[in-house]
Structure 1
Amino acid sequence: MKIQLGSTLLFLAFSLGSMAQTKFKPEDTEFYSPKPPVVRLENQVPNDAIILFDGTDLDQWVSRNNPEQPANWTVANSTLTVKPKTGDIQTKQVFEDFQLHVEWKSPEMIKGKGQGRGNSGIFLQGLYEIQVLDNNDNPTYVNGQAGSIYKQQPPLVEVRAAEEEWHHYDIIYKAPRFNKDGMLISKGSVMVLHNGILIQNNTQIEGTTEYIGLPKIQAHSAGPIILQDHGDLVNFRNIWIRPL
């Protein structure tokens, strides 16, 4: 053991001595390619983003229950509103890793309590729900409040908006990875900013966000963004996504 330790120390001393004698110039650690693509903001939206809802129509969306049918929610005054009992809607396109921006507002008239107060959800890849809910004076379970990864992780802090104000989520999502045999290689993770405040910090997603029972690991490829019809008149606007 002493001989091995002595040899290791001698090797380290030699290596450090060699590094100390090496003389670098500034340009030795500079590189000029490949250059990152240039992205600009146009009306507060990155110009490389895919616009999922700009206030005019639902051309980017279909029914979740029947993807052959168009989405049947209400569009008026540049706002998309859940049409209760028509079912969830989902994007025509599918995504893997992405940056997603969604603005939402609770219904004008909020009825019920707990999970009945302005409930909707944003499903990443159609499987993992970021909760949308009216939090004001709402003693619901914390892993079901706004900004939670539903039934898994509550937000770091509870963010509220004044009455009549819109909320906005900025979601940076890394999808789980599976091998060709469907075995999990790495779980997904998500970062969420709620009205600019960090509420999920590179949080690991344990699996599907189940209403009853534990998360399930389900092998999948790219999937859609889904907006949930939970029976409440939740409003959405300014939805865009950047595949990463």
Structure 2
Amino acid sequence: MFRIAAVFVVVLAGLAALIPVRGAEDAQKGFTTPEAASAEPDFALQGEYTGKELGVQVVAQGNGKFLVVAYRGGLPGAGWNGQQKQESDDDAAEVRKQIATLELKKVERKSPTLGAKPPAGAVVLFDGTEPTFKKHWRDGARISGNLLEQGATSVDLFRDFSIHLEFRLPYMPHARGQGRGNSGLYYQGRFETQVLDSFGLEGKDNECGGIYSIKNPDLNMCLPPLVWQTYDAEFTAARFNDDGKKIANARVTVRHNGVLIHEDVELPQITTAAPNQESPEPGPIYLQDHGNPVRYRNIWVLPRDAEKEARRPAIPQFERFFASTPSDNAVGGRFLLSELNCAACHAATPRLTGVPRPAPILDDVGHRVHPEWLVSYLTDPHATKPGTVMPDRLRHLPEAEQKSTALALAHFLASTGTLVERGSDPQSAERGQKLFHEIGCVACHAPRIGASLPAKSAVPLGELADKYSIASLAVFLENPQHARPAGRMPRLVQNSQEALDLGNYLIGAIDVTP
């Protein structure tokens, strides 16, 4: 029986293990449509239910048996706190009894991105029609009616891209583990986000939403079998130098049924069963065939320019609190209006202007930054400091005029002071490394050792040695608001020595020749 206690505990585990059961033929074949599955008496009872501060997933196990998972607060992605849950094995009669006792109502959740239309520039790999199937999929791919079957590889090759894909898991109540609705979405034929009937399970790296052998999904968002589900992913390919050596791992962000389950996850190695080896070359979309009848539809890919995206204004607070979580779009929009200081140039009503953001103080900028950096920054701010919110004010000018204008402005700004140079101190830099990773810097800036922050929610530092001297960076760190009154960076150092130590670490080894 499943009863709801004040404190929930997980009482069963390892339910994905293979168990000898009868109905082996069904376990291998499965039901591919709700109409066919309705002949199975347990199909109508399995699914999701909600009650007062409670969500319940009823998982058909065959022969009138069910795994029942109760979640305190609501269903995963819809109220559950991610911790308190209770599992039990019950028969159909007991499940019906508890549904009535707890006054549960069956719900059929739908992904908010279901039916998403391809944007301009997208490659529509499959829209249910014969032309897209024949044009975009290699020989050996199969369709059932207007649905694409598992075991298909795209003709098109991609480097960096966003992908939308809809899939439907078969109903296989007698099957267990990796034999239950198994397939997979492979980016470039190299890295897999698993497709599996993991409804009601823990959410492991080899279950639905998992990045196989690399990372569990942050939340198991798998819906019941035969319910259409979505993956929306942003993939950035690995980077290689001219000698063919990998210099940066691939990365991926994945939303399962509209919920963020992986944010900018680094992919250090390809999936074991990947058909393609890692290389600088683009690769196909591959939908794995694991012998189970998984169906796909509405698949489109939008090529991306990852380098260009990396140069756009970065608002980490927006990425953390709005882009990465279900939130009020209007609130997020007003936040961006304020952070980007749109009203400084564009007329807006008082309701939209929010709190004015003072610009950085340039009175003594000559004391703080290298003149050469000023020229580069004014010429192309987003290339010089990726993520900056400064608009490219010279972009409308002819190229030659851009350079001369930037040079004139840099001369004027540099006239406000002289940058003080000093050589690096290895012992000070060693202390600075310890400070950087201990006093709070890595809450916003990517750590330089150990774990990493998602790129979109980290504040990029840029090439600090090109901008500052050790001495000028130390002065800034000791009082960040002096130069940037609207800045969010707090003063983390306790004294000028700590600021100097951080400056030595962040700038690195330099030799100041008299």
In the other structure, the counterpart of 2:229 is: 167
Q: How does 1:1-244 map to 2 (within 5 A)?
A: 44-57=117-130, 58-59=133-134, 60-62=136-138, 70-76=139-145, 78-82=146-150, 88-138=151-201, 142-210=204-272, 218-244=278-304
CA 1:221–1:71 in structure 2 vs 1: closer, same or farther (change >3 Å)? Answer: same
CA 1:220–1:171 in structure 2 vs 1: closer, same or farther (change >3 Å)? Answer: same
Structure 2, unaligned stretches of length 5 or more? 1-114, 305-514
Q: Deviations over 1:208-229 (max 9, x none)?
A: 11159xxx98333111111111
CA 1:72–1:45 in structure 2 vs 1: closer, same or farther (change >3 Å)? Answer: closer
SS at match of 1:241: strand
The answer to whether the 8 A contact 2:159-2:237 is kept is yes
Deviation at 1:110, TM superposition (A): 4.9
Q: Deviations over 1:166-223 (max 9, x none)?
A: 11000101100011222111111000000100000000001111159xxx98333111
CA 1:198–1:43 in structure 2 vs 1: closer, same or farther (change >3 Å)? Answer: closer
CA–CA distance in structure 1, aligned partners of residues 148 and 216 of structure 2 = 26
Percent identity between the two aligned chains: 36
CA–CA distance in structure 2, aligned partners of residues 189 and 54 of structure 1 = 27
- When the two chains are superposed, the root-mean-square deviation of aligned CA atoms in Å is 2.3
Structure 1, unaligned stretches of length 5 or more? 1-41, 63-69, 83-87
CA 1:43–1:122 in structure 2 vs 1: closer, same or farther (change >3 Å)? Answer: closer
CA–CA distance in structure 2, aligned partners of residues 224 and 143 of structure 1 = 22
The answer to whether the 8 A contact 1:124-1:225 is kept is yes
TM-score (structure 2 length as normaliser) = 0.34
Q: Which amino acid aligns with 1:225?
A: I
CA–CA distance in structure 2, aligned partners of residues 72 and 45 of structure 1 = 22
CA 1:156–1:43 in structure 2 vs 1: closer, same or farther (change >3 Å)? Answer: closer
How many residues are aligned here?
A: 186
Higher helix share: 2
Higher strand share: 1
The answer to whether the 8 A contact 1:208-1:217 is kept is yes
CA–CA distance in structure 1, aligned partners of residues 278 and 284 of structure 2 = 15
TM-score (structure 1 length as normaliser) = 0.70
CA–CA distance in structure 1, aligned partners of residues 277 and 149 of structure 2 = 32
SS at match of 1:173: strand
